[in-house]
Amino acid sequence: MKWSDPKQGGVRADFATAFDSFDRAARPAEFLERAAGALRPGGLLFLTATSGTSLEIQLLGTQSPSVVPPDRINLYSIEGLRSALAEPSWEICEISTPGLLDVQLLQEHLGATSDPNSNAEARFFKYLLEERGPECRQSLQEFLQIHRFSSHARVLARRLK
């Protein structure tokens, strides 16, 4: 079944996935409208997107390996994802950032940067990641997950009507 033709055969789904496609949609509102049309009332949509409010993207900016234009048209904040799904068709069941690689990506990028004149944030995180050991890195990754600052966001939303 295509989302562009949700009534194909009169069948609607109970569950739909949109892995790394919502942030690539040129018309996000239309994307969500089609997703809603493909689901029965009460059906669930599971989507993933890169989060622009992640520590990795905030610290590395355009140097982040997660930001690859024109691959991603949209870079949503957690608040932006909530807002996009705030329309009457959807109820958000969960928004999380379960990422596992943020700290590793930061460490690799900052480790390759040896500029002593880099900004204070970069110097701090380089020190933190290189000198404070694996427990500190693990704690930071857990903090990013718990507080939704990891770069990989996932959303579970229920179609209401």
Low-confidence ranges of the chain (pLDDT < 70): 1-10, 113-117
Largest pairwise CA distance in the chain: 63
Q: What is the pLDDT of residue 7?
A: 54
- What's the gap between Cα 118 and its chain centre? 27
Q: In this structure, are residues 25 and 81 in contact, taking their beta carbons and an 8 Å threshold? A: no
Preceding peptide of 6 cis, ω within 30°: no
Provide φ and ψ at 81, rounded to 5°: -65, -45
* Domain range annotation of the chain: 8-159
User: Identity (one letter) of the amino acid at 62?
Assistant: T
Which CATH number is 8-159's, of 3.40.630.10, 3.40.50.10860, 3.40.50.150, 2.60.40.1730? 3.40.50.150
pTM for the model = 0.86
> What pLDDT sits at residue 135?
96
Please measure the distance between the N-terminal and C-terminal CA atoms of the chain and give it in whole angstroms: 20
